[in-house]
Amino acid sequence: MSVHKAITLHAQKQNQDFTKFTRLDQQREEYIQEAVELCKTGKDFTTDKINEVTLQINVLANERFIPTRKLVTPEMVRVYVESLN
């Protein structure tokens, strides 16, 4: 395999990983917003979906130079909502 081809394949893989990270990060933010809205209205919520996506991001981050994300607890959501008031 030529060096040029190897570099091209490597760049394509990095682009795929970054695209996946961007999609997962956006999905994580949407799940966080859903939890915040539920918390604001006093409804029950979980952080399960948020943390499922977070774990996927962090696996990807371990393979690439992508920032990791913290797991979110229900208490973190409540504290954030309370800070909005």
Rounded to two decimals, the pTM is 0.83
Three-class HEC string of 5-74: HHHHHHHHHHHHHHHHHHHHHHHHHHHHHHHHHHHHCCCCCCCHHHHHHHHHHHHHHHHCCCCCCCCCCH
Whether the pLDDT of residue 14 is over 90: the answer is no
CA-based nearest residue to 84, from 28, 24, 40:
40
Provide the domain limits for residue 29: 3-84
What pLDDT band is residue 62 in, cutting at 50, 70 and 90?
confident
User: Considering its fold, how many domains does the chain have in total?
Assistant: 1
Q: Which helix (H) or strand (E) holds 3?
A: helix 3-40
φ and ψ of 8, to 5 deg: -65, -45
**pLDDT tens, residue by residue, 16-61:** 888 999 999 999 999 999 999 999 999 999 999 999 999 999 998 8
- Quickly tell me which residue has 């399960």 as its tokens: 48
